[in-house]
Structure 1
Amino acid sequence: MRVYLPCTLPALARAVETGELGPAPLTGYAVTPALVEWYASGDTEELEYVALTEAARASLRMLAADLADGVHAAPRRVVVAAEVADGAIQANADVEEKGRVRVAEPVPLAKVAAVHVDDEYAVADVKAAVAALPDADGGDDDARFVVDGAEAHELMWYATQEIPDLLTLDQAGG
């Protein structure tokens, strides 16, 4: 099953060092029966886009957590698309979770199909969205608008052999 795993550039660098995304369990997003039920009119491609979008939202939260922990991370959302064995996946039965799954084991980099990352034009909006998250979570409509500004950017697709080039984005600060 194709699973979209939220990530950051520092976490992707750790995965390259260790050869896997982990430790397990990992939170990911996939086309689950609950997502199909929630988005009844969508085809597979549209449903995969919904899962990718949910993973990008989770990546934004990971960036905020890194910042709160003092970890340097370029303000770019990162989503890793990987093929995961069905037996390693637990789907959430709650339809509100929009395809959220738990991956019970680390994901080897060999199972990564692609990486999706914000381009340079999204950096300012992503940085603003990370700063606005606490207020958006508190119900502030202006802050939610700022967060939505980051979500308006499409993530760029990168092949796995381009991962080393992506990691230079974090070393360069953005």
Structure 2
Amino acid sequence: MRVYLPCTLPALARVATVKELGPAPLTGYAVTPALTEWYASGDTEELEYVALTEAARASLRMLAADRADGVEVAARRVVIAAEVPDDDVGMGTDLRERARVRLARAVPMEKIAAVHVDDQAAAEDVESALAALPAADGGDDDARFTVDGAEAHELLWYATQEIPDLVG
């Protein structure tokens, strides 16, 4: 099953060093039965894009958490796409997050298919989204619009061989 796992550049550097994403359990996003039922008119590519977008939103929250902990992290969302055995994937029951899954095991480097990362041109909008996140969570519609503005930027696709260049 293709699973999209939210990440950050420092976490991706750890993946490059230890050759796996972990420890488990890991939260990811995938084309689940609940997502397929909810988005009945979508084809596989559209459904995978929804899962990727959900993972990018989670990456934004990881960036905010890192910064709250004093970690210096670039304002770039990161999503790791991995092919994992179906048996390692647990489906959630939260109807608000239909694509959310849990992985029972760490993901070895050889299961990583690609990495999706914001272009540096997105940094200003990602910074604005990070600043607006608390107000957006509090229900402020203008802040929500700012957070959604980060999603106007498509994540770029990188092969696993390019990870050292991304984190170097």
TM class, shorter-chain normalised? over 0.9
Runs of 5+ unmatched residues, structure 2: none
Once the two structures are superposed, residues 22-70 of structure 1 have per-residue CA deviations (whole angstroms, 9 ceiling, x without a partner) of: 1100000000000001111000000000000000000000000000000
Q: CA deviation at 1:93?
A: 2.6
Once the two structures are superposed, residues 69-122 of structure 1 have per-residue CA deviations (whole angstroms, 9 ceiling, x without a partner) of: 001111000000000111110011333212100001100011000000000110
Q: Which residue of 1 aligns with 2:61?
A: 61
How well do the aligned residues superpose, as a CA RMSD in angstroms?
0.7
Determine what percentage of the aligned residue pairs are the same residue.
Answer: 76
- Distance in 2 (CA, whole Å) between partners of 1:4 and 1:124 is 24
Q: Which residue of 2 aligns with 1:116?
A: 116
Q: Which residue of 2 aligns with 1:96?
A: 96
TM-score by length of 2: 0.98
Runs of 5+ unmatched residues, structure 1: 169-174
User: Where does 1:62-77 land on structure 2 (aligned, <5 Å)?
Assistant: 62-77=62-77
Does the residue aligned with 1:97 lie in a helix, a strand or coil?
Answer: coil
- Distance in 2 (CA, whole Å) between partners of 1:156 and 1:134 is 27
Q: CA deviation at 1:19?
A: 1.0
- Distance in 2 (CA, whole Å) between partners of 1:34 and 1:88 is 18
The residue type equivalent to 1:77 in the other structure is R
The residue type equivalent to 2:35 in the other structure is L
Q: CA deviation at 1:16?
A: 1.2
- Distance in 2 (CA, whole Å) between partners of 1:4 and 1:140 is 28
Residues matched between the structures, number: 168
Q: Which residue of 2 aligns with 1:163?
A: 163
TM-score by length of 1: 0.95
User: Where does 1:19-168 land on structure 2 (aligned, <5 Å)?
Assistant: 19-168=19-168
Q: Which residue of 2 aligns with 1:171?
A: none
CA contact (8 A) 1:54 1:98 kept: no
